[in-house]
Amino acid sequence: MKLNIIKAMVPAVALLLAGGMSSCMKDLDKGNIDPNAQSQVDINALYSKCYAGLIMEGNDGNADFTIRDPGRSTLARNLFNFNSLPTDEGICWWSDGGIVDICYNKCTPSTETLRFLYYRLVSNISFCNHYIELGQGDATMMAEVRVIRAYNYFLMLDFFGDPSFTTTISPETPKQAHAQNPKFDANQSYTRAELLALGREFMFNWVKDELITAEANLQDAHAKTSDSDADYGRIDKATAWLLLSRLYLNAGTYLNNDGQNNPYWAEALSYAEKVINSSYSLFDDSKMSQAAKDAGYRPYDLLFLGDNGSNGAACEAILPLLQDGTKTRGWGGSMFYIAAMYSSDMTNVIGKTSATTQGSWRGMRLRPSFLKTVFKSDAEKYLGKNAEENRAASTDDREIFNGKDYYDDTQKKWFPRTFDLGDNSDFGQGIVTPKWNNNYSTGATPHDIEYVDIDFFLFRVAEAYLNAAEAEIQLNGVNSSKAKQYMDAIRNRAHAAVKPSYTLQDVLNERGREFFFEGMRRPDLIRFNQYGGQNNYKWEYMNGVPEGARFDKTFNLFPLPSSEIQANSNLTQIDGYSEIQ
């Protein structure tokens, strides 16, 4: 089944969500919410809906739950909000939805955007639960949906630790994860820290077991050559392997609250190598078209262009989330990754505009500490130059940065750009990136002048190489030839100089270079104990202080939304947070 058009959705949306949500049920006004009511469900549309929840708002431009701006409801957008913005990587000056609070590690149970993240995950899980409960799909499609559900619960584990948990559609209020742990005794008293540990342990084991079970019925891992391949966009065994590798890589965080105290390094390595040894591969010079080379692009650029599904980069896309300017219109998918990063005057590495009329929301910039630590760069290197000029002087293709002054379309005037963040009140405070843009490598015209065609590569092969390198060093030390092989492959693709050997800090920095502004940073910093609870590494506006200040390790996780705590008496707030705030 091809997923190129994710437009046919399930009619009784509210029915599908029953039992999976508590307070956000009140936000639904889309029909019957009686889980016992009979409704005609298009099983193939529901299957597509499970995939669509990873990047789309909902049906026909509306969100799957009531929200004034549907684009803010998407998972892809909130991966950036909660994995990039609270870290050394990105920052935003927008005041709406508590975005600045998230940037400053001040997220509270009442933060509006937090509620959108939680509702999106529970909504996605509910659609998957309904599909699985109906039991009408074939074994392969069922396994795919189980992986989608497991991924959403993995995110629940990573963001919240001890979320509500249910695998059925039921009128009963769901219990919290810790209560599902066989070790939990309802007659015993626990501290919040103890409940959190029980919840994390249960979630880790459930996600692990669910992925292992689903793997048996998935299609064999097979790389796609383009978005015209019949199974482009569908989950196969490689998706399960890479998610298992990511889960095992972070097992120390989830099981011991210490990313370096991990009993599963060997498993993280094993599953990463399954991906590396499959037909999926890094997209490199040998796979580029001559037209793309002649235009001045490098392999890394093509992963984030409007034709990334057809320009050869598909070989690296283990799970691409499909976007098409005429068929999957929305504001919170790949569109966000362009528009939020751009002003109208910005151009990409070959001097082209963003190729969408929406490319000027002027929000996200890079923090100086990230550039200094990860790219070993200072103000003089990027400031005053556009991305094309910085590319010409770069020693790494991933240095896709713009340091020029910017044009404000509203005020119709130019404003200066600085390397530092100042008071974080303006798009000109900080270096910006045109990494994502809707241009085609061939010079062809995108499908729409406003909405974008960039498929969002949720899982790609580069992660397997870096997971494997990290786990290998943990197991066999910095002189591991295998770890060097994996790191060299990533750096060679970026035309960056290789090193005689690599340390764990080198791996963390490499992950920063490879995945910046893809919503990946926070778990990496936590795993390396360079996030909450430490004084060794600080960044601008860490804990809301301009020069950076320590915040407690309990804030490595986010709180459950106040609305959920108030609506579901089964829930206990995450350790370190007030019940409601």
379 has pLDDT over 90: no
Alpha helices per DSSP H over 216-264? 237-249, 251-256
pLDDT of residue 472: 98
**What top-level class would CATH report for the domain 13-73+108-218+558-567?**
mainly alpha
Cα distance between the two ends of the chain: 46
Q: For residue 54, is it left (φ>0), alpha (ψ between -120 and 50) or beta?
A: alpha
Q: How many residues does the chain have?
A: 581
List the one residue out of 257, 154, 263 whose CA is nearest residue 556.
Answer: 257
Q: What sign does the CA torsion over 524, 529, 532, 535 have?
A: negative
- From 581, 580, 574, select the one nearest 203 (Cα to Cα): 574
Please state the separation of Cα 92 from the chain's center in Å.
17
CA distance 567 to 336: 31
pLDDT attached to residue 515:
98
Q: Average model confidence (pLDDT) for the chain? A: 92
In the DSSP assignment, the letter for residue 555 is: G
Q: Could you tell me the residue ranges of all domains in the chain?
A: 13-73+108-218+558-567
Six-digit token string for 141: 């499609």
Amino acid at 177: A
Residue 392 makes CB contacts below 8 A (sequence gap 6+) with none
Nearest to 522 by CA among 121, 81, 18: 81
Average pLDDT over residues 453-457: 98
Residue 456 has a CB neighbour count (10 Å cut-off) of: 26
Least confident of 25-29, 186-190, 515-519, 562-566: 25-29
| Amino acid found at 428 | G
Please name the residue that has the structure tokens 């301009």: 546
What single-letter amino acid sits at 208? K
The tens digit of pLDDT for each residue in 245-255 reads 999 999 999 99
Share of the chain above pLDDT 70, in %: 93
- Could you read off the pLDDT of 544-559 as tens digits, one per residue? 999 999 999 999 999 9
> What pLDDT, on the 0 to 100 scale, is given for residue 39?
57
Region for residue 239 given its phi and psi (left: phi exceeds 0; alpha: psi -120 to 50; beta: otherwise): alpha
Q: In this model, does residue 1 exceed pLDDT 60?
A: no
Q: Which residues of 144-166 are buried (b: 16+ CB within 10 A; e: fewer)?
A: bbbbbbbbbbbbbbbbbbbbbbb
Task: Collapse the DSSP code of 505 into the 3-class scheme (helix H, G, I; strand E, B; otherwise coil) and give the result.
Answer: helix
Identify the band that residue 225 occupies on the pLDDT scale cut at 50, 70 and 90: very high
Please give the Cα distance from 19 to 33 (Å, whole number).
9
pLDDT tens profile 260-285? 999 999 999 999 999 999 999 999 99
Q: What span, in angstroms and rounded, lies between the C-alpha atoms of 460 and 455?
A: 12
Task: Answer whether 434's CB lies under 8 Å from 349's CB.
Answer: yes
Tally of CB atoms within 10 A around 23 = 17
Q: What is the pTM of this model?
A: 0.94
329 pLDDT tier (thresholds 50, 70, 90): confident
At residue 113, φ and ψ (nearest 5 deg) are: -65, -30
pLDDT for res 231? 97
161: alpha, beta or left, given left = phi > 0 and alpha = psi -120 to 50? left
3-class SS of residue 565: helix
Look at residue 539 and tell me whether its pLDDT is greater than 50.
yes
Tell me the average pLDDT across 520-526: 98
Q: Which of 253, 125, 114, 268 is nearest to 197 (CA)?
A: 253
Q: Indicate the pLDDT class of residue 409, thresholds 50, 70 and 90.
A: confident
Give me Rg for the CA atoms of the chain.
22
> Could you identify the residue written with the tokens 């409940």?
195
CB 369 within 8 A of CB 539: yes
Determine the residue type at 122. Answer: V
Give the other-Cβ count within 10 Å of 95's Cβ. 10
Q: Minimal CA–CA distance to 510: which of 484, 534, 533, 531?
A: 484
Q: How far apart are CA 421 and CA 139, in angstroms?
A: 52
- Cβ 36 vs Cβ 297: under 8 Å: no
Q: What is the pLDDT of residues 15-45, one digit of tens each?
A: 333 333 444 433 333 322 233 444 578 999 9
105 pLDDT exceeds 70? yes
Q: What's the rounded Cα separation, in Å, for the pair 418 and 260?
A: 36
* SS3 call for 414: strand
Alpha helices in 181-264 (DSSP H): 192-215, 237-249, 251-256
